[in-house]
Structure 1
Amino acid sequence: MNVLKLMVVGCALSGMLTSFVVRAESSTAVNVLEITEPHVASDAEKRAKTLLAKAVIHVQTEGDESVKDFMSDPEYIDGELYVFALGIDGEFLASGGSSMVLVGDSVLDTQDVYGKPFFREMITKAVHDGYGEVKYNWANPTDRMGEPKTTFFERVGDVIVAVGYYPERSSAAEAKRLLARAMKAMVESEQKSIDEFNDTDGSFVEGDLYVFVMDMNSGKFLAHGASPELVGRSHDEILSPDNKPILTELLTLAKENGRGVYTYKWLNPQSNKVETKHTYYRVIDNKLVAVGYYVKTASS
């Protein structure tokens, strides 16, 4: 049996925009030479998969009762990472972290901070496929706020063994790579690219990164990877949470220089907090193409 059936990750949380303000969106800088780079696993992702493999082997060789070892054996804790286990019936069996308070409870109806029954999803996938991943927003013990979390899991008999981690925020370099990919796609086929950018589950949404496109003449959205419903909306309809006409300013800058970086405040759909966002943008065929990333500040 191949124990190391470790899942492919891609934090694909689609951006949910709240209606407390008419929304604006972000962008990111471009490096046209770095276009076809494959997914590069973060250190936390690699550690989580390694820890899961070790835990799965333990249960396979020692039996279901061995999940209790996850509660006390430091071998199954790696820094902030820990192993937990639940039965396919929904009973929470063990945890080496803060979720140990759930041991003995049924977690079938347990929800994340946005009401997603992620344990139920995990069980469904484990029963059907034997392994997988689930993404949800969970209270990070560091700041007690809901943060995006990705959990890898594998079924061993009637037990599901799992390790979750909090993905790192997207970086400037990752935003630039995504913008470079978007620019290449626009050159190859503009309409096909716009359709792909509007797919919230597509390949141009990478965690908290996504592409948006605006027509330079009309000032309207042609594509938006987090909220396609913004397509057709005009720049002058949209303000930032601090009431600044950010898209109007962005279009003005783009007309002046054709490429650059624009910084503003915006609601991060993953943390649900207003944060500083840096947007890299470029102009091609009178279209502004942009990608942005968030920076956590002390106030957020």
Structure 2
Amino acid sequence: MAPLRTLILAAVLGIALNTMSLHAEDAAPGGEQERTDVARTQALLDRAEHHLRDKGEQALATFSQSGAFKDGDLYVYVLHRDGKLIASGGSSAALIGRNVRDLTDSDGRHFFREILDGAKSAGTGTVEYRWYNPARNRAELKVATYRSVGDRILVVGYYAPNASVELAKSLLWRAVHEIKVHGDRAFERFNSLNGGFVQDDLYVFVVGLDDELVYAHGGSPRQVGRKAGEFVDAKGKYFIREMIALAKSKGEGDVHYAWRNPANLKVENKHSYIVRVGKYLVGAGAYTGPVR
């Protein structure tokens, strides 16, 4: 069974995709990129299916050749219905010839098993998992579409763009629950890469409402202990002070500012949601595109 964190991410991602039109201003950059990636994925799958039907077994060698069936970071890999990986134009090429049915991703999810079972029952579908991205030298969320062609299963996947505000809120409410259950001990988990609260460009931060000190910061733990009220964004905005005022007056709400994205080290627009929990401000946000 997949870990709870993976299931939550997968479920919320589905919600986020269905509600993109309700958050056009914030989701537009990620939404446009995702639509482009989906279209590229389908086009590469169509081309791969035509080639497989036309060339048969000879097509497998072509899929494994560098650049033959690639589109940027997209590539084709092929599974046999018995679970053996028989072709790949990407990092999974090292697994060619091995049965991967029981192989898991970095979160312990049996995604190959999901592909094999889904192809058997429905013929086509989509699965989400975490896989090594050589461009960033780390595991990232990947969305893969698979298609059954005879005894072969063609798969093409893309790395998901920046996380959505809805995903950030999901992470935030989990953090709120963690604090209510464990108190200040939760801060250690928020700061740890293995604590379950740092996911690519998503992380949790905690600031004291009265002393303005940073108590947790999953994106940059070295900020812990600093006076956050003095923080200004790339445009000179005292965004933490705005968060504190909002938490004290309304208990929760949205704040927009420009901040460095730890995933690419670039300053980008950020939309954070904050909630008051006792004497603390707890927040999480999503990066929504480059600063213009």
> Where does residue 191 of structure 2 map in the other structure?
241
1:59 aligns with 2:20: no
> Where does residue 125 of structure 1 map in the other structure?
118
Q: Note the alpha carbon deviations across 1:242-290, whole angstroms, 9 max, x for none.
A: 9974374656433348855278x9xx9xx8xxxx99553489xxxx998
1:94 aligns with 2:87: yes
Whichever residue aligns with residue 124 of structure 2, its letter is Y
Note if contact 1:238-1:247 (Cα within 8 Å) is conserved in structure 2.
Answer: no
| Identity level (%) | 29
Superposed CA RMSD in Å reads 4.4
1:85 aligns with 2:35: no
Q: Note the alpha carbon deviations across 1:177-222, whole angstroms, 9 max, x for none.
A: xxxxxxxxxxxxxxxxxxxxxxxxxxxx5xx443588xxxxxxxxx
Aligned residues: 212
- Give 1:109 shift: 1.6
Map 1:198-237 → 2, pairs under 5 A: 205=166, 208-211=167-170, 224=173, 226=174, 229-230=177-178
The verdict on how the C-alpha distance between 1:277 and 1:145 changes in structure 2, with shifts beyond 3 A counting, is farther
1:280 aligns with 2:241: no
Q: Which structure's relative contact order is higher, taking Cα pairs within 8 Å and 6+ residues apart?
A: 1
Map 1:128-277 → 2, pairs under 5 A: 128-170=121-163, 175=165, 205=166, 208-211=167-170, 224=173, 226=174, 229-230=177-178, 239=187, 241=191, 245-246=206-207, 248=209, 250=243, 252-256=245-249, 260-261=254-255
Q: TM-score, normalised by structure 1?
A: 0.56
The verdict on how the C-alpha distance between 1:79 and 1:109 changes in structure 2, with shifts beyond 3 A counting, is same
Note if contact 2:69-2:89 (Cα within 8 Å) is conserved in structure 1.
Answer: yes
CA distance in 2 between partners of 1:212 and 1:73 (Å): 38
CA distance in 2 between partners of 1:154 and 1:244 (Å): 41
The verdict on how the C-alpha distance between 1:156 and 1:14 changes in structure 2, with shifts beyond 3 A counting, is same
The verdict on how the C-alpha distance between 1:33 and 1:125 changes in structure 2, with shifts beyond 3 A counting, is closer
CA distance in 1 between partners of 2:76 and 2:58 (Å): 14
CA distance in 1 between partners of 2:85 and 2:46 (Å): 20
Whichever residue aligns with residue 77 of structure 1, its letter is K
SS in 2 for 1:280: strand
Note if contact 1:212-1:289 (Cα within 8 Å) is conserved in structure 2.
Answer: no
Q: What residue ranges of structure 1 are gaps of 5+ in the alignment?
A: 1-11, 17-30, 176-204, 214-223, 296-300
SS in 2 for 1:72: coil
- Give 1:167 shift: 1.1
Note if contact 2:205-2:282 (Cα within 8 Å) is conserved in structure 1.
Answer: no
Q: TM-score, normalised by structure 2?
A: 0.57
Whichever residue aligns with residue 133 of structure 1, its letter is T
Q: Note the alpha carbon deviations across 1:102-128, whole angstroms, 9 max, x for none.
A: 111111121211222211111011111
CA distance in 2 between partners of 1:141 and 1:59 (Å): 27
2:8 to 3, 9, 14: 14
More helix by share: 2
- Give 1:44 shift: 2.5
The verdict on how the C-alpha distance between 1:49 and 1:13 changes in structure 2, with shifts beyond 3 A counting, is farther
SS in 1 for 2:137: coil
- Give 1:49 shift: 1.9
CA distance in 2 between partners of 1:261 and 1:235 (Å): 25
Note if contact 1:151-1:162 (Cα within 8 Å) is conserved in structure 2.
Answer: yes
SS in 1 for 2:8: coil
The verdict on how the C-alpha distance between 1:291 and 1:13 changes in structure 2, with shifts beyond 3 A counting, is farther
The verdict on how the C-alpha distance between 1:228 and 1:127 changes in structure 2, with shifts beyond 3 A counting, is farther
Q: Note the alpha carbon deviations across 1:5-31, whole angstroms, 9 max, x for none.
A: xxxxxxx86359xxxxxxxxxxxxxx9
Note if contact 2:70-2:89 (Cα within 8 Å) is conserved in structure 1.
Answer: yes
